[in-house]
Amino acid sequence: VSTQSTWGRLSSYVCPWKMSQSGVKLDDEALKEFNALKLKKAYRWISFKISDDKHNIIIDQTAPPGSSWTSLTDALNGSGVVQPRYVAYDFDYDTPDGSRNKIVFICWIPDSGKVGDKMLYASSKAAIRTKLGGVGLEVQANSADDLVEKDIAVRCLKG
């Protein structure tokens, strides 16, 4: 007779908290460049992707400090092949007390993407998000409607 309960034997198969994440890790160079965006204002935004071998989150694209919100939305939507990405954006917005700034983390997982890619990016989000300190707002975006600059500004104002 086994001393392990039936629940104990089955829980490793059915409990989500016992399942492993995707195993994808944030690349050291990607973290270094995020810190350059945050501390040195070296970029307006950085997009990250999961490497082809599916082991690391790496830099996909960067934009210089003067770049617009449109440069980001064009990069995410403009190629015709819409792929999931993570984005760190140095977002400027106005308040009644003057101009403010927040780092906005965007998890871009378009509805039109491949199911496997969407699952991989969703399950790997924690690997990047927990490493990026100083993020003021997190946005889950699944379509261009989720990436309206004015709506992001309103969310920044709310906290």
Task: Compute the distance between CA of residue 34 and CA of residue 26 in angstroms, rounded to an integer.
Answer: 11
* Sheet with 85-95, edge to edge strand ranges: 25-26, 56-63, 45-50, 85-95, 98-108, 135-141
**What is the sign of the dihedral through the CA atoms of 116, 119, 147 and 70?**
negative
143: helix, coil or strand? coil
Cβ pair 91, 104 in contact under 8 A = yes
Task: Compute the distance between CA of residue 71 and CA of residue 57 in angstroms, rounded to an integer.
Answer: 22
Q: Specify the pLDDT at position 81.
A: 60
Enumerate the H helices of 80-148 as residue ranges: 115-129
106: helix, coil or strand? strand
List the chain pLDDT tens, one digit each, 159 residues: 444 444 444 444 444 443 336 789 999 999 999 999 999 999 999 999 999 999 999 999 999 999 999 999 999 987 666 899 999 999 999 999 999 999 999 999 999 889 999 999 999 999 999 999 999 999 999 999 999 999 999 999 997
Q: What are the residues whose beta carbons fall under 8 Å from the beta carbon of 53, sequence distance 6 or more?
A: none
Tokens representing 92 are: 């400027």
Q: Specify the pLDDT at position 14.
A: 43
**What is the sign of the dihedral through the CA atoms of 80, 108, 128 and 150?**
positive
